């Protein structure tokens, strides 16, 4: 009777014990030296596996950094603080990464053409004659971007989304959520941008929105560095050529050339 109970215990327990011992011994014998830096770098990375650094995941990026094959400042979600920590671990001097800023290129002052009372999202509203306002390019203000943001970085203010650069991780989900493609990446710590994307000619734009770019060319003439061009009836600032002199900001008759700053 006792044997009937003990035999299974012996056998299964024996197998378990055998493999436990075998694995322990094998673990010692076949030990592979792992670069400790890889693990430590991996620990300070956010672990989002977003691929913004150009590697397939945080593990591979950590390995590349630890082997000095990649720059330590490529992690966009981690930002400067992660780059600094990686620099500390590996004993490198790290340049803070270029952090693009996300801005809404719109500051609507439009009139209502009709009243929209359908589903209260931009995605739905845009299907009805591109929204209820006079400008078909303008922000609809239902806040699809606010809903898309996982970090609570976007708030609606005066009917346009304001993105908090401190909370923003530059993941770009809001860029995808906007049906009018108004949210765009702007390079640099600070600079100027044109807060309008209306591609109509000036006369039409002027009628639909008080804050629209009318392609008057004043900013293009004011710029000494060939950084502003009017393309499709809307001024666009080339952030690479721009020296942040601010002359376009001063001449804009509509006051829609605005400043952006990575730290508020």
Partner 1 sequence: MSSETFKLIIYISFGTILMNNFVLSNFLGICPFLGVSKRLDSAMGMSVAVIFVMIIASIITNLAYNYLLLPNDLEYLQTITFILVIAGFVQLIELFMKKTLPGLYMTLGIYLPLITTNCAILGVALINVQEDYNLWQSTLYGASAGVGFMLATIIFAGIRERLDSSDIPKFFKGLPIALITAAFLSLAFSGFKGIFG
Task: Retrieve residue 115's tokens.
Answer: 């009243």
Q: For residue 181, how many other CB atoms are within 10 A of its CB?
A: 11
The yes or no reply on residue 253 touching partner 1 (CB under 8 A) is no
Residue whose CB is less far from partner 1, 6 or 217? 6
Number of H helices and E strands in the chain, helices first, is 10, 8
The yes or no reply on residue 6 touching partner 1 (CB under 8 A) is no
Q: How far is the CB of 15 from partner 1 (least distance, A)?
A: 5
The yes or no reply on residue 19 touching partner 1 (CB under 8 A) is yes
Q: How far is CA 78 from CA 51, 72, 168, 218, 222, in A?
A: 12, 11, 11, 40, 38
Helix (H) or strand (E) holding 12: helix 2-29
Q: How far is the CB of 126 from partner 1 (least distance, A)?
A: 16
The yes or no reply on residue 16 touching partner 1 (CB under 8 A) is yes
Closest C-alpha to 205, from 130, 108, 128: 108
Contact at 8 Å (CB) between 97 and 73? yes
The yes or no reply on residue 217 touching partner 1 (CB under 8 A) is no
- Binding string, residues 27-46; x marks residues near partner 1 by CB under 8 A: x-xxxx--------------
> How far is the first Cα of the chain from the last one, in angstroms, to the nearest whole number?
79
Residue whose CB is less far from partner 1, 66 or 237? 66
The yes or no reply on residue 240 touching partner 1 (CB under 8 A) is no
Task: Retrieve residue 221's tokens.
Answer: 């003439």
Among 26, 167, 259, 261, binds partner 1 (CB under 8 A): 26
Interstrand relation of 160-163 and 154-157 (parallel, antiparallel or unpaired): antiparallel
The yes or no reply on residue 259 touching partner 1 (CB under 8 A) is no
Residue whose CB is less far from partner 1, 3 or 224? 3
Q: How far is the CB of 14 from partner 1 (least distance, A)?
A: 9
Name the residues that contact partner 1, by CB under 8 A.
Answer: 7-8, 11-12, 15-16, 18-19, 22-23, 26-27, 29-32
């Amino acid at each position: 009777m006792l044997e009937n109970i003990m035999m299974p215990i012996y056998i299964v327990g024996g197998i378990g014990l055998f493999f436990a011992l075998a694995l322990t011994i094998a673990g010692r014998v076949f030990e592979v030296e792992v670069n400790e830096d890889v693990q430590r770098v991996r620990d300070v990375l956010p672990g989002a596996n977003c691929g913004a650094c150009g590697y397939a995941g945080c593990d591979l990026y950590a390995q590349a950094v630890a082997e000095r094959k990649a720059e330590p400042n490529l992690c966009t979600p981690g930002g400067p603080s992660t780059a600094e920590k990686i620099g500390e671990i590996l004993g490198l001097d790290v340049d803070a990464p270029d952090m693009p800023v996300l801005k809404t290129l719109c500051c609507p002052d439009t009139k209502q053409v009709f009243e929209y009372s359908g589903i209260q999202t931009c995605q739905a509203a845009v299907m009805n004659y591109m929204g209820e306002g006079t400008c078909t390019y303008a922000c609809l203000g239902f806040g699809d971007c606010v809903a898309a943001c996982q970090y609570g970085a976007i708030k609606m203010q005066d009917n346009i989304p304001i993105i908090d650069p401190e909370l923003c991780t530059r993941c770009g989900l809001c860029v995808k959520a906007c049906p009018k493609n108004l949210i765009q990446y702007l390079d640099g710590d600070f600079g100027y941008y044109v807060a309008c994307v209306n591609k109509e000619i000036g006369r039409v734009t002027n009628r639909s929105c008080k804050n629209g770019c009318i392609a008057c060319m004043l900013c293009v003439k004011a710029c000494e560095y060939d950084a502003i061009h009017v393309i499709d009836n809307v001024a666009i600032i080339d952030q690479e050529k721009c020296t942040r002199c601010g002359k376009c900001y001063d001449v804009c008759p509509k006051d829609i050339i605005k400043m952006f700053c990575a730290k508020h």
